[in-house]
Structure 1
Amino acid sequence: MLYELYDLLNINILGYITIRAGISFFLALFFTLYMMPKFIRWAQRTSSVQPINEWAPENHKSKAKTPTMGGIVFIGATILASLLTIKFSNMFAVGAILTLVLFALIGFQDDYAKIKKSENLAGLKARTKLVMQIVASLIITSFLCFFADFNTDLYVPFIKTPIIEMGFFSIILWCLVIISTSNAVNLTDGLDGLATVPSLVALASFSIIIYITGNVTISTYLLMPNFNVGEVAIVAAALMGALTGFLWFNCHPAEVFMGDSGSLTVGAFLGYLAIISKSEILLLLIGSIFVIETISVILQVGSYKFRKKRVFLMAPIHHHFEMKKWAENKIIVRFWIVSILSNLIALMTLKIR
């Protein structure tokens, strides 16, 4: 809408991606801060609260009456702010909105099933959820190939030219990136604000990379690939604003949880950003906390299955530190620090080509 005003009334300032990204950030922040208290009161009134896993650490029992599904609010705020600020003719921005919508629907169904049955493990069956994620990912990646005309080259850090043209296999890789990142953020969302700040930091990093990738002059100077993806930075900024508003209520002690409707969607969106910025490999560093959490679960399950021994006291790894009697705030802040440092390193690699 704002871009259309630029076209219609020749308001030059609205033609700049940076200006509209800033506007989208504050719009999404305002929408979230305005709607979240109303949502919390509604959730308390309707008992739409977080069911606690019986295997969770003892201190989690006190969180049993905390409203969940807050992701619906901040994802909705992100979509609304984005629709008001993006250029609709940019297919990459449309693909970003599509990603948010599809995975929010999956997460909502999972959250609703848990709330309805009042049991943490009573959501969508793992196989059903995976099938839905695969279908959603195929829709998104097919959209990139056939409507956004996105190329299938694979880039790696430190090398200025693509190492391989993936062809059809790009669909497989991109689906894997979206699904794995979606589930990784979901695994991390176990403590108050634990997934929120690393997501914010990752979004900031990807916003910078995407803006550079969409700018001919800067991308040429840094020897990075150039595609017309800069508009997606506006959607990323909107999600950053919405998550900032959500953090106001999600910091310890949390008044609301994001639920699967938030964590699955944020993760899928990060995967989408990695794909369109040709940063699939760099995602491992940008999303370091999510990678660590996922690896801890894989190691725990694999070790117990084959050795009948546990690697950690409890997985994901943030529960391991809880079992070691670390204060919840200490775990959260230290994970935030690791995330910030790894993202700084990731951004430093952009100059090394």
Structure 2
Amino acid sequence: MLFHLFYDVLSKIEGFGWLRVVRYTSTRILAAAITALVLSFILGPWFIERLRNRQIGQQIRDDGPESHKEKAGTPTMGGSLILFCLVTATLLWCDLENRFVWLALAVTVGFGAVGFADDYAKISRKNTKGVPGKLRLLCEFAIAGAALSYLFLSDVLAPDIRLQVQLPFTNFYGDGLVLPAWAYISFATVVVVGTANAVNLTDGLDGLAIGPSIINAGTFLIFAYLAGVETTLLVQLGSELRQQNLAEYLHIAHITGSAELAIFCAGMLGAGIGFLWYNTYPASVFMGDIGALSLGGAIGMLAVLTKNELALLLVGGIFVVEAFSVIIQVGSYKWRRKRVFLMAPIHHHYELKGWQEPKIIVRFWLISVLLALIALGTLKLR
């Protein structure tokens, strides 16, 4: 909204020409991050106090680590604050005619609504059983499937890149794996839903999920900007000089309009950092399913919209490991009646081994930073 007000209206008035600076994506990336961060800082104390007054407290699972019992009653559903700041910053600074932004927002808010219903059910029943798992997954698949069907059956993406999957360390153009429409939509839907639930599984310690989410937002900000920016370079190809945009130079998909997603990522980054101020150990508020599912859905959509579905395995490596630790634990107990880990997800395994909670959190953050740097490094290896 501010982008259209400043650029389309005020910048054309004499004396306000300097407002044309908002036409640059980089300017609006900074503006969105600052807006979301400042909103989080301003609204955080009031929001947490409201949660306390309404007795919206966390329910602790009975079979969890003993140290978690003291966290019972800590305000939850703090993801509402993340969602509000992210959506507000995006609507203020993005080009609202960009369909990539609306698709990302639709899935983020839709998954947030599913998370809200799950949190509300837990609080009202005063136990850890929320919306039945099958119903929750059905809603998630419906939301993601509808958004992705529109994406890949419309003209939002160019035909030559619409159904391609970038294979690691290869040139997107010519070396990508091309899937039938039904297979790609199914694959992309699983990516989004899987990421959302993996982030939800990771959200078990103070700041554990929001840290990697911030790192993922920063990484996909770079991916989205490089894929969509129209800046060209003069490149020596054999004996001739040719102009290439950054995406062509890096052998990744050039997706016209995707640079606006960098502003969405900046909003997520700012909102995440602002929330971390209150969620860091010992947490004053938990994000709840409304935060974990919305952030996970957003990250999954960013991977699909920027054609980095497989790179997500690296960028979101912490989430992948957390999810697979649960799958392995359940599968092993079902077939062998033996547990691989002391407890799943894997962060609880380390708690029961005697690691202090802050040590687990910070080490998982550091691993997430390393994985993000490796993922960014693949840009040059292509």
SS at the partner of 2:57? Answer: coil
Match of 1:257 among 264, 286, 291: 286
1:222 touches 1:351 (CA, 8 Å); kept in 2? yes
**Residues of 1 paired with 2:305 and 2:168: CA distance?**
15
Match of 2:269 among 208, 221, 240: 240
Question: Does 2:165 match 1:154?
Answer: yes
Superposed displacement of residue 7, structure 1 = 2.4
SS at the partner of 1:168? Answer: helix
**Residues of 2 paired with 1:214 and 1:250: CA distance?**
33
SS at the partner of 1:158? Answer: coil
2:77 touches 2:291 (CA, 8 Å); kept in 1? yes
- The two structures, once aligned, show a CA RMSD in angstroms of 1.1
SS at the partner of 2:181? Answer: coil
- C-alpha deviations, 1:20-52, integer Å up to 9, x for none? 111011111111112221121111111100000
Match of 2:251 in 1: 223
Question: Does 2:6 match 1:2?
Answer: no
Question: Does 2:120 match 1:106?
Answer: no
Match of 2:214 in 1: 200
Superposed displacement of residue 224, structure 1 = 1.2
1:27 touches 1:238 (CA, 8 Å); kept in 2? yes
Superposed displacement of residue 315, structure 1 = 0.3
Match of 1:58 in 2: 66
Following superposition of structure 1 onto structure 2, how do residues 338-349 of structure 1 map, counting pairs within 5 Å?
A: 338-349=367-378
TM-score, normalised by the number of residues in structure 2:
0.90
**Residues of 1 paired with 2:47 and 2:222: CA distance?**
32
TM-score, normalised by the number of residues in structure 1:
0.97
Larger radius of gyration: 2
Match of 2:131 among 100, 106, 124: 124
AA at the equivalent of 1:47: Q
1:296 touches 1:317 (CA, 8 Å); kept in 2? yes
**Residues of 1 paired with 2:278 and 2:21: CA distance?**
33
- Identical columns (%): 42
- Flag structure 1 segments of 5+ consecutive residues without an equivalent: none
Question: Does 2:151 match 1:144?
Answer: yes
Deviates more, 1:278-287 or 1:216-225: 216-225
Deviates more, 1:9-18 or 1:305-314: 9-18
AA at the equivalent of 1:328: E
AA at the equivalent of 2:297: A
- C-alpha deviations, 1:175-230, integer Å up to 9, x for none? 10000000000000000000111111111111101100002421121121101211
SS at the partner of 1:230? Answer: helix
2:152 touches 2:181 (CA, 8 Å); kept in 1? no
- C-alpha deviations, 1:256-309, integer Å up to 9, x for none? 000000001101110000001111001000001001101110110000000000
**Residues of 2 paired with 1:279 and 1:306: CA distance?**
34
AA at the equivalent of 2:144: S
Count of residues in Structure 1 that have an aligned counterpart in Structure 2 = 352
